Amino acid sequence: MTDSVTTGTLRLPPRVHAGFGARAQLLHTLPDGTQRVLAVIDPFLTSSPLWIELQTSLEAHGVRVHVYSDIRPELPVDSLTAAADTAAALGVQAIIAAGGGSALDAAKLVALLVTHGGPLSRFYGENLVPGPVLPVIALPTTAGTGSEVTPVAVVSDPRRHMKVGISSPHLIPAAALVDPELTLAAPASVTAFAGVDALVHAVESFTAADLRSPWNDELPVFTGRNTLTSALALEAAARIHAWLPIAVREPANRRAREEMAIGSLQAGIAFGPTGTHLSHALQYPIGAATGTPHGLGTGLLLPYIVDALRRDPATAERIGVLGDAMGVGADPDAVITALSGLNDAIGVPSSLRALGIEREHLPQIAELALESRRLVGIAPVPAGEELLREILDSAFAGTLALRRTA
């Protein structure tokens, strides 16, 4: 594919290893001379033979491992302070992050707190982390958020309406070990919601606005569409579209787990520099109002967003390229049908009502989404209240324009 944009930015961990068995690189990815680490691990891993084996192997090589696994849903900001205090008191030289996106984000934030001190609210937003943080070695157990390669960590702060992001190139882990073996135990709903979020990352990265920041300024964390990530986003979308329903239906299918691990990693590499847009802007207030998982919301919204964006001819063309990559053809209607069909196949509901949203919530959701100016600004068309209300109205009614006209 020839891209209309011919500039690009890549920001990545210096080391990325992916495939069955990649976790065995853990010892070799720690900084030279590491003697003490904090392992921020997902609660489900604490008694898993996979983790115990890794910890035993590190200790056999003289690395002392202190485990922290109090990863609370939604990652309340105050819960991270204790972990950071422990890490600082122990003088750890690196942080191992193993788990779903919540555990990986927790580890990134602990690394930030240990290095630069709190409160975390000092860093809410973009490019506010003043320098490098303690190295984080990330092992995702979902496929997935892509957090193992991205510059973002998301946290909930009781003083705010919604989850807040800290975005900085300094939060990109020092190494990512993407081993599908770690995802085999993920239950169907976790596989479905994390997997569809990865598809949203790929689609939103591929359809991101062409922003072209001046090269002589400090670059924004999210630089919009770029030619270096487009091909990865397309490949990620193709893999996830093909393999996510199989991974949900057949959790022990190793090929499906491997394809999903690679697809979500590619999507993370793609959206890390470009950013995501409207599904994410709208999910934050929806997630806050309903307590529903991130991927459930972004996945539900995606067909409605693509449906609204295809009215823009340049974006419709891009959606066609995406459809070709996914093997459903270049007609945007076919792409939207494929995205909503995938949701049906993996148990993502088709209407916001199923998440407990009432019609009278919609204006406030649109208003709060517009506060995420960074995300809204990455949409390929100017997105104001009217467009967001239209998307929300369709997603509430559960009706896509193409179905209305069929």
Ligand X SMILES: NC(=O)c1ccc[n+]([C@@H]2O[C@H](COP(=O)([O-])OP(=O)(O)OC[C@H]3O[C@@H](n4cnc5c(N)ncnc54)[C@H](O)[C@@H]3O)[C@@H](O)[C@H]2O)c1
Q: Point out which residues bind Fe ion (CB under 5 A).
A: 197
Pairing of strands 136-140, 94-99: parallel
Please choose, out of 84-92, 143-151, 235-243, 353-361, the segment that lies near ligand X by the rule CB under 6 A.
Answer: 143-151
Partner whose binding site includes residue 396, from Fe ion, ligand X, none (CB under 5 to 8 Å by kind): none
Whole-number Å distance between alpha carbons of 142 and 199? 13
The full 3-state SS of 257-287, as one line of letters, equals HHHHHHHHHHHHHHHHHHCCCHHHHHHHHHH
Nearer to ligand X, 3 or 105 (CB): 105
Q: Does 190 bind ligand X (CB under 6 A)?
A: yes
Whole-number Å distance between alpha carbons of 47 and 49? 6
Please choose, out of 85-93, 114-122, 144-152, 346-354, the segment that lies near ligand X by the rule CB under 6 A.
Answer: 144-152
Partner whose binding site includes residue 101, from ligand X, Fe ion, none (CB under 5 to 8 Å by kind): ligand X
Q: Which tokens hold the place of 314? A: 């340049």
Partner whose binding site includes residue 237, from Fe ion, ligand X, none (CB under 5 to 8 Å by kind): none
Touching ligand X, residues 74-93 (CB under 6 A): none
Nearer to ligand X, 84 or 328 (CB): 84
Whole-number Å distance between alpha carbons of 258 and 115? 35
The residues, any chain, with a CB within 8 Å of residue 27's CB and separated by 6 or more, are 57, 58, 61, 63
Handedness of CA 52, 58, 63, 69 (dihedral sign): negative
HSE-CB at 339 with a 13 A cutoff on CA atoms is 28
Report in angstroms how near the CB of residue 255 gets to ligand X at its nearest.
17
Partner whose binding site includes residue 155, from Fe ion, ligand X, none (CB under 5 to 8 Å by kind): none
Site track for ligand X across 322-361, x = CB under 6 A: ----------------------------------------
Cβ atoms 302, 200 nearer than 8 A: yes
Nearer to Fe ion, 179 or 197 (CB): 197
Partner whose binding site includes residue 264, from ligand X, Fe ion, none (CB under 5 to 8 Å by kind): none
* Per rule CB under 6 A, count of chain residues that contact ligand X: 30
The amino acid present at 310, given as its one-letter code, is R
The region, left, alpha or beta by phi > 0 then psi within -120 to 50, assigned to residue 275 is: left
Among 154, 208, 248, 269, binds ligand X (CB under 6 A): 154
Q: Which tokens hold the place of 307? A: 């449906």
Binding site for ligand X (CB under 6 A): 42-44, 99-103, 105, 141-142, 144-147, 150, 152-154, 163, 182-183, 185-186, 190, 193-194, 197, 294-295
